[in-house]
Structure 1
Amino acid sequence: MHDTVIYPTDSGHQNRRGVAWIVLAFVVVVLLFSFRTLVSYYVENLWFGSLGYASVFWTSLRLEWTAFAVFAIATFAVLYGWCRILLHATERDVLAAGTLRFGDRIIHLPLERVLGWGALVLSALISLGAGGGMMSDWPKFALYLHRPSIAGEFADPILGRPLDFYLFTLPIWELLAGWLLTLAILMCIATAFSAVLSGGSRISIRGFDTTRHLPWSVFSIPVAFLLLVIAARVYIGRIELLITDHTVFSGVTYTDAHVFLTGQLLVCVLLIIGAAIALLNLVTRPGLRWIALAPVPAIVCYFIVQIVGWYVASFIVKPNQLAREQQYIAHNIDFTRRAYALDRVTEHEFPAETELAAAEPDKNQDTLRNVRLWDWRALQDTLRQIQEIRTYYDFPDVDIDRYTLDGQTRQVLLAARELNVDKLPESSRNWINEKLTYTHGYGITMNPVNGFTPEGMPTLLLSNMPVERTGSAPAVTRPEIYFGQLTDLDVYVKTHHKEFNFPQGQTDSFSSYEGTGGIEMGGLLRRLLIAFDRGDLTKVPFSDDIDAGSRLLMRRNIRQRVHAIAPFLTFEADPYITIGDDGRLRWIIDAFTSADTYPYATHYELRDTSINYLRNSVKVVIDAYNGETTFYVFDPTDPIIAAWRGIFPALFKEASAMPQDLRRHIRYPELQLKLQAEVYGLYHMTDPVVFYNREDLWTVASETGTNGNNEQASLPMEPNFVLMKLPGHSDLEFIDILPFTPANRNNLIGWIAGRGDGDHYGTALAYNFPKTRLVDGPLQIEARIDQNAQLSGQLTLWNQQGSHVRRGTLLVIPCGKALLYAEPIYLQAQRSPMPELRLVVLALQDKLAYGTTYEAALQSLFAGAASSMTAEAAQQPSAQNPSGAPQAAPDTNALIQAAARDLNDYQRLTAEGKLSDAGKKLEDLKQKLDTLNARQK
């Protein structure tokens, strides 16, 4: 009797119909899922085009999708192609595994087809993931393809490779090595699965030809490929020794240079030989022994290298570490200083003399005139009380800058009044108000850094709505702020709906947008697509206020705006506002390029990212009214920005193209100075011996501040901008400063400043203070303030009865040949967060002076006047008694009673938040107590 063979029936026509339906369903799903993406691309193109950067968008998109397509196709070709080879090699075994016997009946399952479709689907999914991963790394490929030729740049002293290799080529090698390693592992897994399937079928099927060997030859290719990829990875790891951080320094060590560089190269060679051994399975009788033998030489060599390296490090280097590592420490010092532009820092000795005459006040009037006494946090709180006008306005930041006032360069503080829709009354939070009515902030405030009214309020040069201008303050012709730091919502302008401009008495002022910013809404289809993308599909098409001429202003938050245009740059967290000669408001943001593959340079953290190279290469200007965004290159020597300019030639402009009225307001970035100060604290030591011993380690000085728990604590100082004449220089400069103290000490040891004006822009200087005597640091000056009997008593008194003392930033400013310390002290009621200046404390090394005004403190410090916490008017006899006739002295008991009344009034007024009146009562109380003390003597 013949066996009956039963095959599953499958009509060819039905099969084709099924495939057609599958294809159709796939296309429909792709269209559904990609529709939003396509619409988003359309709106993105409109947005970039409105800024004049359409080419930037399309270039980014092309590079992004090219990276995706290349690696997705390559991954699919390798994986699916290898799976087809495996299926062909194990065809008989797969057929046998799919054959089932039930007595006399045999059923053939379509296992081969299932495996084929499974390999196709799995390969496609893996390929999409690989392409998506490489898609996000398109900047690395773009930089490599457009890398500049760095003529005359240095090469590393170990391998002799140029700088561009480390910045542009090494990241690509690392990326490709990771991708190839993943492919090799997947190929090995697929091969192992195929072998298990073949072996299982031979064991489970009775009567199968067991004389045939497993297809070991198919293992040869993936194993050889894996060994070659590992060899490449080991070779790259050999190069990465130059960017590895160690305990004492970074880069190649003595052990690396004498053991691991050669040892890893030998391992690479043995891995390549191992790959050749694995391939012997293709030309000899296949078996497991060749595959098992292939990696053995490399593994043995690897362990030998590790043992030799341990021996050299333990018994040759450690007993004589300084002598052995000195050459390599010198490399680390040199390259780290270059990586963070510390080679642009000029060093000077500063005597920090203690005599009063050393401050040379007559020669440093410009410096003294611009000492900043308004702490930006205190001013922000004050402005929120006196200049917000309505609850929906806010001052998100206060910026420090310099302007020409009355023919003199003065340091001023500016704050933009922005609209915060989150502060609108809940009843007003609707689509029309948020998108059509409340579209912009309005105006700006300006005050001198040390300008105070008698009540301790800021002397405002620009204020109110509409903007009121005092004296020679710059005129503001376009005060509306459509683009800022709080403008997080899209708005529609040039509509039939009037926009709220600013409050004005019993009525409000309204206006319409007159600028050219934003995306024109256009016809119905365009409006539908824009509304769909922005989530306004149920509003925009049905609004009578929006027509073809209306405009959408999107990405109005300036940080989001610049990041969307140039996500490959790192941006300063603190933009600052400027007023141009034309009266327009513009924001300036500093932008940086960075890398983590600079040879021999030590890595530092920059916003949770480890880097070892930084350059402030770009300044970005954003018009607060039109949103026009312009990128200016300020460091053309930076190779990374040179590569980006090659990729996006339409995006960047030369620094010389920046208008002069903006050029006057560029500065040395806080982010850069802060990181450089951290690096300089260690790498100012250029002698390898001193560096190794950490003999002169510096840290950024600390001051008393408020921590996150609103408690007083010792905190590292932040960079501060000052307008001053540097010692030995005649020009007034706007600089960014930070003082240093020795590690774990409070006395000053150095001072670094980033220069932002004229030909000195982008350079920095450092002062080294004498090491043979003590120079007071900020914490020591504040301790002297706390130890002063009068000041301590007064501060203790103020910190009671519903008020508390706020200390401003303590500035340390070189003045002549001495150091001038300046700290403002504010009084703030707990019920009213509006600090008022009450005292100004100035100090030199051997003298502490204070007064209720800056002028009084200066007189006390330099002119010998007595320090006092009473108003100057109260100290003038002529004001009290113009005729000069004698007056009867008040009775002692009457003085005591009057003093008691003044104390009660002071406590009551302080609790009510009437700090100005309370201050006057306190001054009256002080006068009476002084009189009583005089009578006791």
Structure 2
Amino acid sequence: MTPRRAWVRAAVLLALLGLLLGRWAAVSTANRLWAESLGVGVTHTAIAQLKLTLLGLAFATAATWSLGNLYLIYRTIGSVQVPRRLGNLEIVEAVPRRYLVAGTVVLGLLIAVLVSHRASGWWYSFALLGSRAPVELVDPVLHRDLTYYLFRLPWERTLHGFLATLSAVLLVVTAGLYALVGAIRVAERRLVVADWARTHLAGLLVVFALTLAAGFRLDPAEYVAGLRNVPYDAVLVEVRLPFSRALSGVAVVVAIASLAWIWVDRNTLVVAPWGVLAGLALAGTFVVPGFATAVRGPDRLALPELVAAQRRMLSVAFALPAGDTTIDPPPSPDADLPARRASELGLVPIWDAGALQDLLRRLAPQGPEHRFAGAGLDLYQGRNRRPVALYLAAREVDLLAAREADAALSWSSVHAGRYAHASGAIAVAAAQATPDGLPLFVPDLTRPDSGAPQFAELDLAHREVW
């Protein structure tokens, strides 16, 4: 690479970095000024610092774990050779080590960014750790104080999700890289793993199994807190909670088996335990609870004391009234009310403005380029000064339809010819219809209560509509 190309590439990278930093600075400044205008500038600054600290710690953790594992892969690679053709000859060229180092660093940092880019949103659950509001209300299932579910569980779930994602991503990436360099291959229908790759993968499997065990230990608290959206019934107490504890123990056994894989070169030592764990996790989460719910009747499922305790905890958590709030249903209306209000009910429109406009477009005798505009609803005085609800719509020119119908559309025809203006208007009774379900047309607005079943326009002195 020539020095000029290197300088151009560096300038482009610096420009992109400057754009990203400039956008971040602009958004941060706007948010700070907005907070200061509301008088909460100090709080906003503290939250921003906490967000930046959490993001930095998460990125540092993810980068350390990613670069460390990728460096172990880099150390085990002797060389990477790329086949090339030179004329009629096929040669093999070794990739320079500096390119491998650069690729390792870039891949590790990319994984760290992808895993930790949402860490700034952890500030809320982290801030709850400092809350010590006295509640003194214990759940009847796990016998933990309500403050644990309100202040500690959100952070534990957040931290566990980050660690589980990080360990799973590195496990998949490491296995893929070892497969690319040939450390994991299939020979004679048998999976062969090199010694150094087996040691590395075994360690990653141990870490991932321990994160799963920690997650299974959190499942009972998530069930009780309502985060899994499962009812408080006998299945929760007798099936879901024991299964979660059992899965946690199985995950620890799987971690031990994965650790033993370092010294015992048998693939079944990890395949079988991990397969059992996956099957038990699926069965314990979906199959067994559903079967237990189906074979039990409602009387055996219901646990009223747990439901009452859940209601008390929810009322405290969301600051709701302790007792139930009941609203009396409205009184039954008088049977003679419609008859007494017949005059008012007769004004209620039975036609929708949009549906009426579409129907008029199909019933109008003129071409599609002349349509009726949006119908307006108003009251007109009929006989004995009784109000009558009418829709009134004027015809307009649809230039798009005119262009489709007349390819020779010109400026003169639009501004001085047949498309310069439309003509006519129409009135429809809003609260009436013909026996066939069609609109009832009113040809004379001076007599709005007289209608005609056939299409009839208003008798206007000047029919032009501009």
Residue of structure 2 in register with 1:326 after alignment: 304
Q: Distance in 2 between matches of 1:212 and 1:159?
A: 46
Distance verdict in 2 for CA 1:340–1:176, change over 3 Å: closer
One-letter amino acid of the structure 1 residue matched with residue 15 of structure 2: V
Q: Distance in 2 between matches of 1:82 and 1:911?
A: 75
Deviation at 1:42, TM superposition (A): 3.2
How many pairs does the alignment contain?
360
Distance verdict in 2 for CA 1:211–1:189, change over 3 Å: closer
1:195 aligns with 2:178: yes
Q: Which of 245, 251, 275 in structure 1 is aligned with 2:255?
A: 275
194-203 or 63-72, which moves further after superposition?
Answer: 194-203
Deviation at 1:23, TM superposition (A): 5.1
Secondary structure at 1:199 match in 2: coil
- Cα deviation 1:627-656 (Å, max 9, x = unaligned): xxxxxxxxxxxxxxxxxxxxxxxxxxxxxx
Deviation at 1:88, TM superposition (A): 1.4
Secondary structure at 2:118 match in 1: helix
One-letter amino acid of the structure 2 residue matched with residue 167 of structure 1: L
One-letter amino acid of the structure 1 residue matched with residue 307 of structure 2: I
Q: Distance in 2 between matches of 1:128 and 1:211?
A: 30
Q: Distance in 2 between matches of 1:221 and 1:18?
A: 43
Residue of structure 2 in register with 1:30 after alignment: 17
Residue of structure 1 in register with 2:236 after alignment: 256
Q: Which of 142, 146, 159 in structure 2 is aligned with 1:163?
A: 146
The question of whether the paired residues in 2 share the 8 Å contact of 1:245 and 1:251 is answered with: no
Q: Which of 62, 87, 110 in structure 1 is aligned with 2:95?
A: 110
Residue of structure 2 in register with 1:518 after alignment: none
Deviation at 1:250, TM superposition (A): 5.6
Q: Where do 5+ consecutive residues of structure 2 fail to align?
A: 350-375, 393-466
Secondary structure at 1:234 match in 2: helix
The question of whether the paired residues in 2 share the 8 Å contact of 1:215 and 1:286 is answered with: no
| Paired residues for 1:645-684 under 5 Å | 680=325
Deviation at 1:96, TM superposition (A): 5.5
Residue of structure 1 in register with 2:54 after alignment: 67
| Paired residues for 1:625-640 under 5 Å | none
The question of whether the paired residues in 1 share the 8 Å contact of 2:382 and 2:388 is answered with: no
Q: Distance in 2 between matches of 1:293 and 1:126?
A: 29
Distance verdict in 2 for CA 1:797–1:340, change over 3 Å: same
Distance verdict in 2 for CA 1:904–1:133, change over 3 Å: same
Deviation at 1:76, TM superposition (A): 1.8
Secondary structure at 1:160 match in 2: coil
Q: Which of 776, 786, 796 in structure 1 is aligned with 2:338?
A: 786
Deviation at 1:56, TM superposition (A): 2.4
Q: Distance in 2 between matches of 1:123 and 1:211?
A: 23
Q: Distance in 2 between matches of 1:180 and 1:114?
A: 30
Q: Distance in 1 between matches of 2:166 and 2:384?
A: 82
One-letter amino acid of the structure 1 residue matched with residue 171 of structure 2: C
Distance verdict in 2 for CA 1:784–1:79, change over 3 Å: farther
Which structure's relative contact order is higher, taking Cα pairs within 8 Å and 6+ residues apart? 1
Q: Distance in 2 between matches of 1:905 and 1:81?
A: 90
Q: Which of 135, 139, 146 in structure 1 is aligned with 2:124?
A: 139
The question of whether the paired residues in 2 share the 8 Å contact of 1:217 and 1:286 is answered with: no
Secondary structure at 1:108 match in 2: strand
Secondary structure at 2:197 match in 1: coil
Deviation at 1:107, TM superposition (A): 4.4
Q: Where do 5+ consecutive residues of structure 1 fail to align?
A: 1-9, 205-209, 348-679, 682-738, 742-747, 749-775, 801-828, 833-900, 913-937
Q: Distance in 1 between matches of 2:264 and 2:347?
A: 95
Deviation at 1:167, TM superposition (A): 1.6
Deviation at 1:220, TM superposition (A): 0.4
One-letter amino acid of the structure 1 residue matched with residue 205 of structure 2: V
Q: Distance in 1 between matches of 2:279 and 2:27?
A: 56
One-letter amino acid of the structure 2 residue matched with residue 267 of structure 1: L
TM-score normalized by the length of structure 1: 0.34
One-letter amino acid of the structure 2 residue matched with residue 289 of structure 1: T
The question of whether the paired residues in 1 share the 8 Å contact of 2:81 and 2:93 is answered with: no
- Cα deviation 1:96-123 (Å, max 9, x = unaligned): 5457798999643216544433332233
Deviation at 1:40, TM superposition (A): 4.0
The question of whether the paired residues in 1 share the 8 Å contact of 2:67 and 2:108 is answered with: yes
The question of whether the paired residues in 1 share the 8 Å contact of 2:80 and 2:94 is answered with: no
- Cα deviation 1:508-567 (Å, max 9, x = unaligned): xxxxxxxxxxxxxxxxxxxxxxxxxxxxxxxxxxxxxxxxxxxxxxxxxxxxxxxxxxxx
Percent of aligned positions that are identical? 17
Deviation at 1:131, TM superposition (A): 3.1
One-letter amino acid of the structure 2 residue matched with residue 795 of structure 1: E
The question of whether the paired residues in 2 share the 8 Å contact of 1:199 and 1:214 is answered with: no
Deviation at 1:138, TM superposition (A): 2.5
The question of whether the paired residues in 2 share the 8 Å contact of 1:195 and 1:214 is answered with: no
Q: Which of 341, 344, 348 in structure 2 is aligned with 1:795?
A: 344
| Paired residues for 1:466-477 under 5 Å | none
Deviation at 1:67, TM superposition (A): 2.4
Q: Distance in 2 between matches of 1:257 and 1:190?
A: 39
Distance verdict in 2 for CA 1:830–1:328, change over 3 Å: same
- Cα deviation 1:340-386 (Å, max 9, x = unaligned): 545345x8xxxxxxxxxxxxxxxxxxxxxxxxxxxxxxxxxxxxxxx
One-letter amino acid of the structure 1 residue matched with residue 337 of structure 2: I
Residue of structure 2 in register with 1:400 after alignment: none
The question of whether the paired residues in 2 share the 8 Å contact of 1:227 and 1:275 is answered with: yes
Secondary structure at 1:122 match in 2: helix
Secondary structure at 1:151 match in 2: coil
| Paired residues for 1:458-857 under 5 Å | 680=325, 739-741=327-329, 748=330, 776-777=331-332, 780=333, 784-788=336-340, 791-792=341-342, 794-796=343-345, 830-831=377-378
1:77 aligns with 2:64: yes
Distance verdict in 2 for CA 1:795–1:159, change over 3 Å: same
- Cα deviation 1:64-99 (Å, max 9, x = unaligned): 22222222222222112211111213x13xx15457
The question of whether the paired residues in 1 share the 8 Å contact of 2:184 and 2:194 is answered with: no
CA-based RMSD: 4.3
- Cα deviation 1:162-212 (Å, max 9, x = unaligned): 2222122222222222222221221122222122123289999xxxxx997
Deviation at 1:332, TM superposition (A): 3.3
Distance verdict in 2 for CA 1:18–1:268, change over 3 Å: farther
Distance verdict in 2 for CA 1:784–1:292, change over 3 Å: same
Q: Which of 186, 202, 207 in structure 2 is aligned with 1:225?
A: 207
Q: Distance in 2 between matches of 1:268 and 1:115?
A: 39
Deviation at 1:278, TM superposition (A): 0.8
Q: Distance in 1 between matches of 2:194 and 2:214?
A: 36
Residue of structure 1 in register with 2:268 after alignment: 289
One-letter amino acid of the structure 2 residue matched with residue 332 of structure 1: Q
Deviation at 1:295, TM superposition (A): 2.4
Deviation at 1:251, TM superposition (A): 4.4
Distance verdict in 2 for CA 1:277–1:97, change over 3 Å: farther
The question of whether the paired residues in 1 share the 8 Å contact of 2:80 and 2:95 is answered with: no
Q: Distance in 2 between matches of 1:21 and 1:287?
A: 53
- Cα deviation 1:736-778 (Å, max 9, x = unaligned): xxx443xxxxxx4xxxxxxxxxxxxxxxxxxxxxxxxxxx24x
The question of whether the paired residues in 1 share the 8 Å contact of 2:137 and 2:313 is answered with: no
Q: Distance in 1 between matches of 2:51 and 2:248?
A: 33
Q: Distance in 2 between matches of 1:908 and 1:310?
A: 61
- Cα deviation 1:264-314 (Å, max 9, x = unaligned): 1121012112112211233x1444233224425545655775776566544
Secondary structure at 1:125 match in 2: helix
Q: Distance in 2 between matches of 1:74 and 1:245?
A: 27
The question of whether the paired residues in 2 share the 8 Å contact of 1:143 and 1:168 is answered with: yes
The question of whether the paired residues in 2 share the 8 Å contact of 1:228 and 1:271 is answered with: yes
Secondary structure at 1:49 match in 2: helix
